[in-house]
Structure 1
Amino acid sequence: MHDVVVAGAGPVGLFVACELALSGCSVLVLERDRDPRPPLKALPLGLRGLNAGSAETFYRRGLLEATMQASGAEAQEVGADPEAVEAPGPRALSHFAGMTLNAADVDTAALPYRLPSPAMEGFMTSLDAVTSVLTERASALGVEIVRDAPVTAVSQDDEGTVITAGGRQYRSRWLVGCDGGRSAVRRLAGFAFEGTEPLFTGYVAEVVLADPDQLPIGFHLTDSGMYLRTPFPGHLGLMDFDGGTFDRSQPLTREHLQAVLRRVSGVDVTLDEVRLASSFTDRAMQATTYRMGRVLLAGDAAHIHSPLGGQGLNLGVGDAMNLGWKLAATVRATAPDGLLDTYTTERHPVGAAVLDWSRAQVATMNPGPNAPALRKLVHDLMRTTDGTTQVYRQTSGLFAHYDLGDGSTLVGRSAPDFRFEDGTRLGDLLHNGRGVALDFTEGRALDGTAQRWAGRIAYAAGPVRNNLGFTALLIRPDGVVAWDAAHTPDRHAFERAAHQWFGAPSRLTTGAPSL
């Protein structure tokens, strides 16, 4: 029997599997598709954007460089100047409802407690590239992957779960459903899935245009919807406000796509060939809880929404990073009471906010007699400094805040990438999936105290290039600040935070080396 079965070998499922295996759990991944590299995951239809928060997540597990190389992003300016002491402003922004914004309009003074990092920007990638990197990582960690194994039955009791997939039964202590928006795990386990119905059918397609110059590159809002032509030859995106009635209801023929493109663009364009196409909607739904007993959901299995702004993959990566260490601690019986329940309480509001962000964009783009006035108003507001800064906060993935019951400045937020004088960064210390206690005091005030959690919390002491006014911090394995101190650290306060997130101390030692 495995500790955990993960349903779905996409980026989210593989990331969860890697997190669990990194902590010593036995993991089996069940994937319904036989082909590990289906055409829809490759460029151009598999094009996705990893935002800065996801780039930071891959960096914290030592996977950023490999992911950039697999994405063909080596030359992109993702990281900050290695010698910088203060964080630079963003170089690029996501769009809002097809409206592009100027990164120079972001108010960096409104974004405190940031430090230079090798992961300061997002970058374009593909599902195929990310999946390939994570598959290699999972294999190196001993994760078993079984393909052509769609989940058809799920049951659970107090001891574990039983999963039927591909005609075989598998037993595990826990099951994580990462099997997409039409998740079998979600349905079979009985999760409630609630939200709003769609307003449009969307299409992505790789086509041959008779005259490509008829359609300019970029986003184009029209009186009938939206079309997007990317720099990839023949790569098109369409939004047709038909109430979502066409999605997966009929074959995606050349004639149908041509008719939709002509109607939405207002151009008498001709498609010579459709090489590959897929449809989707803006249906926005979310599981009411991400855990039922021994079954958990992550990624699109937990929430679906339109792909506007490219938030889906990033939201799923955040789920995986939050869930992995908590479930691993539960499997190892080191988790404090209620730790696994914090997965839903922390990630559900983040998912709900992304769904609302998606709905707001769809409402802005929805054609109608009042649409031009609404779009102009939203466009003008977004072009202000406050509006542009808010778009960056919402879409960069760097500013999520979990309510951890502490009013401190950094608690519940992603930790800045503190850099010690010898060049070691916080991101380096998080590669093995443990928590980290940072001690910037001259006398190593937390020495000995932090070592009581040796094996679960790494202790790093010494001066840093920019401490942002802090003397000590406790960082969770997902890079979130669990506790901080701006003055002489209170050992009792540190111990309370360590107990809250890492359980009882593992041992008592003294004399830890500093960096």
Structure 2
Amino acid sequence: MTETLKNKNTTPNFLHDVIISGAGPVGLFLACELALAKCSVLVLEKATDPHSPLKQIPFGIRGLSAPTIEALYRRGLLKELELHKRLKNPHQNAKQGAQRQVGHFAGIPFQEGDVDTSQWMYRLPSSTETSLISEIQEIETVLTRRVTALGVEIKRGLAVTDVHQTGNTVTVQSGDQFFQCKWLVGCDGSRSVVRKAAGIEFAGTEPEFTGYTTLVDMADPEKLRPGRNVTATGMYLQSQPGYVLIQDFDGGAFHSSDMPITLEHLQQVLRRVSNTDVTISALHMATTWTDRSRQAKTYRNGRILLAGDAAHIHAPLGGQGLNLGLGDAMNLGWKLAATLREKAPEGLLDSYYTERYPIGAQVLDWSRAQVAIMKPDPHARALNAVVRDLIQTRDGATYFAGRVWGVFTRYPLEGNHPLTGYSVPNFEFEDGTCLGELMHDGQGILLDFDGNASLKTFASEYGDRVKYISGRAKDPLDVSAALIRPDGIIAWASDNGADFSQLQKIAAHWFNRR
């Protein structure tokens, strides 16, 4: 905090519940969750124009995983995404059917026909897809439309430059403007000003490579093999004509140099990595990135919180970053809203860090493991060959798909039922209604498949914190009743609906009584 901010009269006319720094997908989705719970939210975004070629296909293409798809579906947002309906696979010459590539680990593909979804016992015919294609611009457009409808104000062209928190409020400076809030959330990316202002350490590992994402014209594109190719000096991918990705294992030197990406430099790197004499005739657009992996030591300092890339960064291999950030928003939103409304049990907000930090650490290690077997040395090539053999087996492909698509995501919550801690299945009731369609309001749910009057009475004790839903399910998966958090996670489940002592204890852990 600067002396200027400390000594200046910075009291604004309006106190927001929450200010979010950053109007990317994570900041916007968090704003949706908070506004859904009637919190007053202001979003500050440093960019004046939300549109950018880097957010559009091919640069902005992103794969959404199962938890993200479920979250969007449960808030009525999935139906607004259109791109995945016309773009099933962005790769040229993509195979269809059982041989269709549906993901990869370190460039090693796994195919649709090898993934045994029957091993994922809690997925139902009514479940949403495990993966689909979208782009940053499409996601931001859908979320912006929703937050605007919910009354959230987005101020663009205002970068957060300083932050000062007292016991009850946070003052946020953007240039010569000041804003005040009860809570501040940094969703402002890997170079987060909010994180730095909060004094939160960003620890991790340094990069092994510089990655290039480019749009070029080539005089002889046939000299590059299609698909993803790990070579003796790096990796390259040509998924569409002229759209080329390169990994050059230079320790991230070029990315850190801030040197311009010229046609000559790019051609030299591509020739060396691909071991061809391919000629680039025109360079239209290019950007660089690395596999630097860092994670905030804590996601909270007082009334300042972090989410998305402000809390963790890693190589974008396998498309985990966006999904990880949206998962942060889904987890944090209802907990922060309950805290603001003074309806949060003790320690509820702390559970954001204890639940999300291990998930983030796991994704960072998943990314590091991919880099380790892509390095251009004999040890990595040996590991690569072993993983390639495993991923071509049915069990191997199923495991890798489950990890990449987030099917295995689980919080280690207290409870005896095997579904505890998992995302609730999209149960279909006998009238054809699916559970996810009843979750648009973001409330907790006490689900009762047996019509137990005691459960209905129990739910009424929590007022608007928990709503009671009863009805017969077509396939209840050995569940008679379940307590579902607003983020869709099962906090308690029973196969006989009678374990009320545990239900009372667990409900009190997540929800205050009215």
Kept in 2, the 8 Å contact 1:471–1:489? The answer is no
Counterparts in 2 of 1:489 and 1:93: CA distance versus 1, 3 Å: farther
Q: 1:304 aligns with which of 302, 313, 317?
A: 313
Say which is worse superposed, 448-457 or 169-178, in terms of deviation: 448-457
Q: CA deviation at 1:445?
A: 4.1
Q: CA deviation at 1:248?
A: 4.5
Kept in 1, the 8 Å contact 2:448–2:470? The answer is yes
Which residues in structure 2 correspond to 1:430-469 (within 5 Å)? Answer: 430-469=439-478
Q: Does 1:19 align with 2:33?
A: yes
| Cα distance in 2 between the residues matched to 1:39 and 1:193 | 29
Query: What's the secondary structure of 2:464's corresponding residue?
Result: coil
Q: Cα deviations across residues 264-297 of structure 1 (Å, max 9, x unaligned)?
A: 1111111122111110100010001111111111
Q: Cα deviations across residues 430-489 of structure 1 (Å, max 9, x unaligned)?
A: 111111111011444411111222312121111110111111001001110000011133
Q: Cα deviations across residues 230-278 of structure 1 (Å, max 9, x unaligned)?
A: 12x3211110000001104211111111111111111111112211111
Counterpart of 1:73? 85
Counterpart of 1:85? none
Counterpart of 2:67? 53
| Cα distance in 1 between the residues matched to 2:88 and 2:474 | 26
* Aligned-CA RMSD value: 1.8
| Cα distance in 1 between the residues matched to 2:193 and 2:493 | 42
Kept in 2, the 8 Å contact 1:6–1:30? The answer is yes
Say which is worse superposed, 314-323 or 206-215, in terms of deviation: 206-215
Counterparts in 2 of 1:207 and 1:74: CA distance versus 1, 3 Å: closer
Counterpart of 1:8? 22
Kept in 2, the 8 Å contact 1:12–1:316? The answer is yes
Which residues in structure 2 correspond to 1:386-397 (within 5 Å)? Answer: 386-397=395-406
Q: 2:55 aligns with which of 38, 41, 60?
A: 41
Letter in 2 for 1:376: A
Counterpart of 1:512? none
Q: 1:200 aligns with which of 189, 209, 212?
A: 209
Counterpart of 2:251? 243
Q: Does 1:362 align with 2:378?
A: no
| Cα distance in 2 between the residues matched to 1:141 and 1:221 | 47
Kept in 2, the 8 Å contact 1:210–1:271? The answer is yes
| Cα distance in 2 between the residues matched to 1:75 and 1:273 | 27
Query: What's the secondary structure of 1:94's corresponding residue?
Result: strand
Say which is worse superposed, 391-400 or 210-219, in terms of deviation: 210-219
Q: Does 1:417 align with 2:426?
A: yes
The answer for unaligned runs of 5 or more in structure 2 is 1-14, 90-97
Kept in 1, the 8 Å contact 2:75–2:440? The answer is yes
| Cα distance in 1 between the residues matched to 2:473 and 2:100 | 26
Which residues in structure 2 correspond to 1:84-483 (within 5 Å)? Answer: 93-117=102-126, 119-231=128-240, 233-249=241-257, 250-483=259-492
Count of residues paired in the alignment: 491
| Cα distance in 2 between the residues matched to 1:138 and 1:442 | 36
| TM-score, scaled relative to structure 2 | 0.92
| Cα distance in 2 between the residues matched to 1:90 and 1:213 | 23
| Cα distance in 2 between the residues matched to 1:25 and 1:4 | 7
Q: 2:498 aligns with which of 465, 489, 492?
A: 489
Kept in 1, the 8 Å contact 2:373–2:381? The answer is no
Letter in 2 for 1:185: V
| Cα distance in 1 between the residues matched to 2:230 and 2:335 | 43
Query: What's the secondary structure of 2:57's corresponding residue?
Result: coil
Letter in 1 for 2:247: M
Kept in 2, the 8 Å contact 1:437–1:472? The answer is yes
Counterparts in 2 of 1:442 and 1:18: CA distance versus 1, 3 Å: closer
Q: Cα deviations across residues 377-410 of structure 1 (Å, max 9, x unaligned)?
A: 1211222333222212211122211111224201
Counterpart of 2:76? 62
Letter in 2 for 1:143: V
Query: What's the secondary structure of 1:417's corresponding residue?
Result: coil
Q: Does 1:28 align with 2:36?
A: no
Query: What's the secondary structure of 1:208's corresponding residue?
Result: strand
| Cα distance in 2 between the residues matched to 1:246 and 1:91 | 35
Kept in 1, the 8 Å contact 2:127–2:425? The answer is no
| Cα distance in 2 between the residues matched to 1:31 and 1:408 | 43
Kept in 2, the 8 Å contact 1:415–1:475? The answer is yes
